[in-house]
Structure 1
């Protein structure tokens, strides 16, 4: 069983960003405005159809990024989860347990514990998905489609629909 402790009232709000690159560190990082200073402006494509839509622009290590904001629907919240028993991955080497089976072969065990305790470190109400130079195509981007599919699956599994309110 997986247990999540903490609620938005006990955690801080944060800004979620999904970058089009891989960063092999998940620990704390000191940031400053000259390293990450995104700007936003009204989206020219949407016009009167969607007046609240914005495009975001940022530069990361000299490369231009264009962002699309994905708003989490009413009734849902995003959370940044942590575990208290594991250090951040930037300083933690994964331990692999070697077990000899009956044929003398070795098995690797790296499974999640049956009773995992997670804590909400922060929460967010929207996510900015960044693309190289241009905004991501919502119909083709795996992250955007994945978020929509998770919300749809949650509604099916829990018998809950935002439209039912």
Structure 2
């Protein structure tokens, strides 16, 4: 399981989704000659001689994106109690035992993503643009359903 430490960074950036596959997993020195997008009415960049055009995809109001980094920190388990009733949730059901919880550090935050495509500005049906929208819709559905379920369960107990 993962936990996020939101205090680790407040730096803001715009991540780039680039239509390419990089077969390298080590560090590199970034230079202006390798990646230097031009901000115009149609953002344009060149990567290894290939022209890319970009489109900013804004996250909806109330949403925030994070760039996370794995840390070696672990979330400390809550102190156990001798009272067996405290190992049950509000409905009296036993809580699921949770394994190790690794803490992820926040490297940066973002409110929009730049999606790039070869030669043309990405349209709304672009797989990356659609993928971002699908994740937002899924998150909204899950959190809305969870919130509704929580409110209903609390109303039943009053």
Q: TM-score, normalised by structure 1?
A: 0.63
Show the 5 A alignment for 1:1-165: 1-7=1-7, 10-25=9-24, 27-42=26-41, 55-85=42-72, 115-139=101-125, 141-159=126-144
Which ranges of structure 2 fall in alignment gaps of 5 or more residues? 73-98, 146-158
Name the CA distance, whole Å, in 2 between partners of 1:63 and 1:132.
7
Deviation beyond 6 Å, 4+ runs, structure 1: none
Q: Greater strand share, 1 or 2?
A: 1
- Cα distance in 1 for residues equivalent to 2:27 and 2:108: 14
Q: How many residues align?
A: 119
Bigger CA radius of gyration: 2
Q: Is the 8 A contact 2:69 2:105 kept in 1?
A: yes
Deviation at 1:64, TM superposition (A): 0.6
In 1, Cα distance between equivalents of 2:36 and 2:14: 13
Q: CA RMSD in A?
A: 2.2
CA distance in 2, matches of 1:6, 1:29: 27
